[in-house]
Amino acid sequence: MTYLLQQALNALQLGSIYALIALGYTMVYGILTMINFAHGDLFMVGAFLCFISVLLLKLSFVPTLLVSMLGTALLGVTIERLAYKPLRRAPRVSAIITALGVGLFLENFTLALSPYPKHIPSAIPNVTWIVGGVSISSLQIVVIALSLVLMVLLDLVVRRTMVGIGTSLGGVAGVLYGLAYPVIDPYMGIVVGWKAFISAVVGGIGNIRGAMIGGYILGAVEILVVVFLPSTYRDFVAFTMLLVLLVFRPYGILGKPAVQKV
Amino acid sequence: MKRAALIFCASVIGLFAAGCGEKSPSTIKVGLIAELTGDMPAVGESCKKAARLAVKEINDAGGLAKGDRRYKMELFIEDNAGKADQSASAAQKLITQQKVVAIIGPNATRYAIPASEIAESSRCLLITPWSTNPKTTLNAKTNAPKKYVFRACFTDPFQGRVLARFAMDRLKAKKAAVLYDVASDYNKGIAEFFKETFERNGGKVAAFETYTTNDRDFSAQLTKIKRAEPEVIFLPNYYSEVPLQIEQAKRLGLKVPFLGSDSWGSQELIKLCGRDCEGYYFSTHYAPDTAAPAALKFIRAFTASYGSMPDDVAALTYDSFGLLRQAIDEADKIDRTAVRNALARTQKYEGVTGDMQFKEGSSDPIKSAVILQIKDGKFVYYSDANP
Q: Are B355 and B270 in contact (CB under 8 A)?
A: no
Residue A260, pLDDT score: 53
Q: How many helices (H) and strands (E) does chain B have?
A: 12, 16
Q: Does A230 touch chain B (CB under 8 A)?
A: yes
When pLDDT is averaged across residues A210-230 and rounded to a whole number, the result is 92
Bond into B106 cis (ω within 30): yes
- The DSSP secondary structure of A91-151, one letter per residue, reads -HHHHHHHHHHHHHHHHHHHHHH--S-EEPPPSS---EEEETTEEEEHHHHHHHHHHHHHH
Q: Does A21 touch chain B (CB under 8 A)?
A: no
| Closest alpha carbon to B181 in B173, B190, B193 | B190
Cα dihedral sign for B147, B152, B155, B159? positive
Q: Does A177 touch chain B (CB under 8 A)?
A: yes
Domains of chain A, start order: 2-248 (1.10.3470)
Residues of chain B with pLDDT under 70: 1-25, 291, 387
Cα dihedral sign for A193, A197, A198, A199? positive
Residue A17, pLDDT score: 93
Contact: B220, A130; criterion CB under 8 Å: no
What share of chain A in percent tops pLDDT 70? 97
Cα dihedral sign for B328, B329, B330, B335? positive
Contact: A181, B217; criterion CB under 8 Å: yes
Q: What is the mean pLDDT of chain A?
A: 89
pLDDT of A243 over the 80 cut:
yes
Contact: B253, A130; criterion CB under 8 Å: yes
Please provide the CATH number assigned to the domain covering B25-153+291-303+311-368: 3.40.50.2300
Burial class (CB in 10 A: 0-12, 13-18, 19+), B332: exposed
Q: Does A260 touch chain B (CB under 8 A)?
A: no
CATH architecture type of domain B157-284? 3-Layer(aba) Sandwich (3.40)
User: Which of A6, A181, A230 lies at the smallest CB-CB distance from B223?
Assistant: A6
Q: Let me know the angle formed at the C-alpha of B314 by B312 and B316, rounded to the nearest 5 degrees.
A: 70
C-alpha A205 chain-centroid distance: 14
Q: Let me know the angle formed at the C-alpha of A147 by A141 and A148, rounded to the nearest 5 degrees.
A: 90
**β-pair type (B64-66, B27-34):** unpaired
Chain B residues 155-184 within an 8 A CB cutoff of chain A: 182
Which distant-in-sequence residues (6+ apart) come within 8 Å of A21 by Cβ?
A39, A40, A43, A169, A170, A173, A192, A193, A196, A199, A215
CA distance linking residue A139 with residue A36, whole number of Å: 29
Residue B5, pLDDT score: 55
Q: Does A3 touch chain B (CB under 8 A)?
A: yes
**β-pair type (B64-66, B69-79):** antiparallel
Residue A10, pLDDT score: 94
Which distant-in-sequence residues (6+ apart) come within 8 Å of B222 by Cβ?
B179, B209, B245, B248, B249, B252, B254
Q: Are A253 and A213 in contact (CB under 8 A)?
A: yes
User: Which of A11, A135, A192 lies at the smallest CB-CB distance from B251?
Assistant: A135
Q: Does B214 touch chain A (CB under 8 A)?
A: yes
Interface test with B, best of A18, A134, A233, A234 (most B CBs within 10 A): A234
CA distance linking residue A46 with residue A192, whole number of Å: 13
| Closest alpha carbon to A151 in A129, A130, A173, A131 | A173
| Closest alpha carbon to B84 in B110, B46, B118 | B110
CA distance B255 to chain A (A): 13
The pLDDT tens digits for A86-144 are 988 888 889 889 999 999 999 999 988 877 788 998 888 888 888 888 889 998 999 99
The pLDDT tens digits for A36-86 are 999 999 999 999 999 999 988 999 999 999 999 999 999 999 999 999 889
Q: Where are the domains of chain B?
A: 25-153+291-303+311-368, 157-284
Report the SS3 class of residue B337: helix
CA distance linking residue B77 with residue B250, whole number of Å: 48
Interface test with B, best of A226, A228, A229, A236 (most B CBs within 10 A): A226
- The DSSP secondary structure of B88-146, one letter per residue, reads HHHHHHHHHTS--SEEE---SHHHHHHHHHHHHHTT-EEEESS---GGGGB-TTT-SBP
Nearest residue in B to A5, CA atom:
B223
Residue A159, pLDDT score: 66
| Closest alpha carbon to B53 in B313, B242, B345 | B313
pLDDT band at A259 (very low <50, low <70, confident <90, very high): low
Contact: B220, A182; criterion CB under 8 Å: no
Q: Are A213 and A254 in contact (CB under 8 A)?
A: yes
The pLDDT tens digits for B1-10 are 555 555 555 5
Q: Are B51 and B33 in contact (CB under 8 A)?
A: no
Q: Do domains B25-153+291-303+311-368 and B157-284 have the same CATH topology?
A: yes
Contact: A121, B214; criterion CB under 8 Å: no
Which distant-in-sequence residues (6+ apart) come within 8 Å of B132 by Cβ?
B109, B151, B153, B154, B155, B156, B159, B262
Contact: A190, B214; criterion CB under 8 Å: yes
Q: Are B66 and B334 in contact (CB under 8 A)?
A: yes
| Closest alpha carbon to A141 in A3, A2, A16 | A16
Q: Does B224 touch chain A (CB under 8 A)?
A: yes
Burial A199-214 (b: 16+ CB within 10 A, else e): bbbbbbbbbbbbbbbb
Chain B residues in contact with A117 by the CB 8 A cut-off are: 240, 268, 272
Contact: A117, B211; criterion CB under 8 Å: no
User: Which of B212, B216, B247 lies at the smallest CB-CB distance from A235?
Assistant: B212
CA distance B281 to chain A (A): 21
Q: Does A235 touch chain B (CB under 8 A)?
A: yes
Residue A258, pLDDT score: 63
Contact: B272, A183; criterion CB under 8 Å: yes
Residue B7, pLDDT score: 54
CA distance B210 to chain A (A): 6
Single-letter residue type at A15:
G
DSSP state of B37: S
Q: Does A14 touch chain B (CB under 8 A)?
A: yes
Interface test with A, best of B208, B223, B267 (most A CBs within 10 A): B223
Q: Does A107 touch chain B (CB under 8 A)?
A: no
CA distance linking residue A27 with residue B142, whole number of Å: 59
CA distance linking residue B28 with residue B103, whole number of Å: 12
DSSP H or E segment with residue A13: helix A2-32
Residue A97, pLDDT score: 92
- Angle, helices A92-113 vs A188-203, to 10°: value is 150
| Closest alpha carbon to B242 in B181, B163, B170 | B181
Q: Let me know the angle formed at the C-alpha of B69 by B64 and B72, rounded to the nearest 5 degrees.
A: 40
C-alpha B134 chain-centroid distance: 12
Residue A203, pLDDT score: 92
Q: Does A112 touch chain B (CB under 8 A)?
A: no
The pLDDT tens digits for A146-200 are 999 998 888 887 766 677 888 898 999 999 999 999 999 888 999 899 999 999 9
In degrees and rounded to multiples of 5, residue B355 shows phi and psi of -75, 145
Chain A residues in contact with B221 by the CB 8 A cut-off are: 226, 231
Residue B222: half-sphere exposure toward Cβ, Cα within 13 Å:
24
